[in-house]
């Protein structure tokens, strides 16, 4: 499950695309299940912080196992991002994870003026600076950069949006492909959704490049409603469990 919670946190975020789709106080909780087993939860919350007297966004994402799952494979992950309200450019990113004994505690500081990122490893007491492309995002701020992307108004089936994302000490070329529209049944009722497929690297976790599918509400909020991942062994699904602080009413067709 290494990197899996990170991917879920990213995908629950970076598949919402309308201007003004979020506001301070927005909160999502997702139930993660592996087959019939309730494996855990992931949350995302938009807060506010001050940096040099300027109000900026501070988003906190958490992922954790629950019930019997935590006795077999404990996950306790925290991801945080501080980024500009107007440009979505990140200032700072924190990643503190514990996944079945695999631990990492890092903070990344973005210097957008000279296109570098300085990563401080708190566990190993090491520091390293990386060169990155212009307008690079972290795994959480990518959410908001894409959320306000104007391409949603003109995207056609099989078109995609690309961005550079700094994650796990490297720059990842992230692409999000638009698949089409679909009505799905949720605990809140039937929801009209837009379907996207993030392009991820195949390997130890995912079966192939297009093993992830994401459904988001086709309204002004663009709420991530469901995520399905085909893994090397079995499949994993995350469903929206609860929400609050939305910028717009959540549109449900019927209950």
Q: Does any domain span residue 250?
A: no
3-state secondary structure of 194: strand
Condensed to tens digits (0 to 9), the pLDDT of residues 87-128 reads: 889 999 999 999 888 899 999 999 989 999 999 999 999 999
Number of domains in the chain: 1
Condensed to tens digits (0 to 9), the pLDDT of residues 186-218 reads: 999 999 999 998 875 544 444 445 578 989 888
As a dihedral over the C-alpha atoms of residue 205, residue 215, residue 65, residue 73, rounded to 10 degrees, the angle is: -20
Q: Does any domain span residue 238?
A: yes
The strand pair at 76-83 and 90-99 is best described as antiparallel
pTM of the predicted model as reported, rounded to 2 decimal places: 0.85
Condensed to tens digits (0 to 9), the pLDDT of residues 124-172 reads: 999 999 999 999 999 999 877 777 777 876 899 999 989 999 998 999 8
- Structural domain for 219, as ranges: 4-244
Report d(CA 17, CA 116) in Å as an integer.
27
């Amino acid at each position: 499950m290494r990197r899996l919670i990170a991917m879920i946190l990213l995908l629950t975020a970076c598949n919402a695309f309308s201007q003004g789709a979020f506001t301070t106080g927005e909160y999502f909780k997702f139930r993660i299940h592996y087959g019939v087993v309730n494996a855990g939860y992931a949350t995302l919350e938009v807060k506010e912080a001050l940096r040099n007297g300027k109000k900026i966004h501070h988003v906190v994402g958490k992922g954790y196992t629950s019930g019997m799952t935590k006795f077999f494979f404990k996950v306790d992950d925290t991801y945080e991002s501080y980024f500009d309200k107007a440009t979505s450019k990140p200032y700072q990113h924190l990643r503190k994870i514990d996944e079945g004994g695999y631990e990492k505690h890092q903070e990344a500081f973005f210097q957008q003026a000279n296109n570098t990122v300085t990563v401080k490893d708190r566990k190993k007491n090491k520091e390293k600076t990386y060169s990155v492309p212009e307008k690079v995002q972290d795994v959480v701020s990518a959410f908001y950069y894409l959320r306000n992307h104007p391409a949603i108004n003109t995207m056609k089936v099989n078109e995609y949006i690309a961005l550079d994302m700094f994650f796990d000490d490297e720059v990842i070329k992230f692409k999000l492909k638009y698949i089409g529209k679909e009505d799905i049944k949720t605990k809140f009722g039937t929801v009209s959704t837009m379907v996207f497929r993030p392009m991820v690297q195949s390997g130890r976790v995912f079966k192939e490049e297009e093993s992830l599918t994401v459904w988001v509400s086709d309204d002004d909020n663009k709420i991530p409603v469901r995520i399905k991942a085909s893994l090397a062994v079995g499949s994993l699904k995350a469903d929206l469990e609860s929400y609050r602080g939305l910028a717009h009413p959540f549109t449900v067709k019927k209950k």
